[in-house]
Amino acid sequence: MDISNEKLYEIAEGARANAYAPFSGFCVGAALLTDDGEVYTGVNIENSSYGATICAERVAFVKAISEGKRGFRKIAVSAGAEESIPCGICRQFMYEFSPEIEVITKAAGELKVRPLTELLPEAFVLDK
Ligand code: ZN
């Protein structure tokens, strides 16, 4: 199943309702499309021990990977009115599985689509 960038972003936007962000109030939702057409959502989950906080993008990836998925086509990330570009840790995390994934965000009402390699041109990679 293919899914439009607009639809994937809508799903990410809808997922924000489940974000757990009592400290920052910055609620993020992500929607991840797998190679086989399934969508996994994620939200940011903060913690009293700040270092234990996890971003929406990695939550979506962790859910999918733990269900056996390994290939991903695109991920939409929504923080409401503000554009939310994946942080450095998430960029590296996503690169491990899908260097060519497209990252969809929205800025000033317009969807922006960037290949991950543009956001992270020189990723760290170990030989497998
Ligand atoms: Zn992140």
Query: Does residue 125 belong to any structural domain of this protein?
Result: no
**Residue 1 pLDDT exceeds 70:** no
Selection from 16, 37, 34, 12 nearest residue 25 by Cα: 16
What pLDDT, in 10s, does the model give residues 27-54? 999 999 999 999 999 999 999 999 999 9
What pLDDT, in 10s, does the model give residues 69-119? 999 999 999 999 889 999 999 999 999 999 999 999 999 999 999 999 999
Query: Does residue 46 belong to any structural domain of this protein?
Result: yes
Q: Give the CATH number for residue 72.
A: 3.40.140.10
Number of domains in the chain: 1
Cα 125 to middle of ligand 1, angstroms: 18
Query: Does residue 128 belong to any structural domain of this protein?
Result: no
In angstroms, the Cα distances linking 87 to 3, 35, 37, 93, 103 are 25, 23, 25, 10, 12
What pLDDT, in 10s, does the model give residues 47-67? 999 999 999 999 999 999 999
Q: Which of 13, 57, 100, 110 is an active site residue?
A: 57
Query: Does residue 62 belong to any structural domain of this protein?
Result: yes
Cα 87 to middle of ligand 1, angstroms: 4
**Beta carbons of 78 and 12 less than 8 angstroms apart:** yes
Query: Does residue 124 belong to any structural domain of this protein?
Result: no
Residue 78, domain extent? 5-119
110 classed as catalytic: no
Cα 99 to middle of ligand 1, angstroms: 16
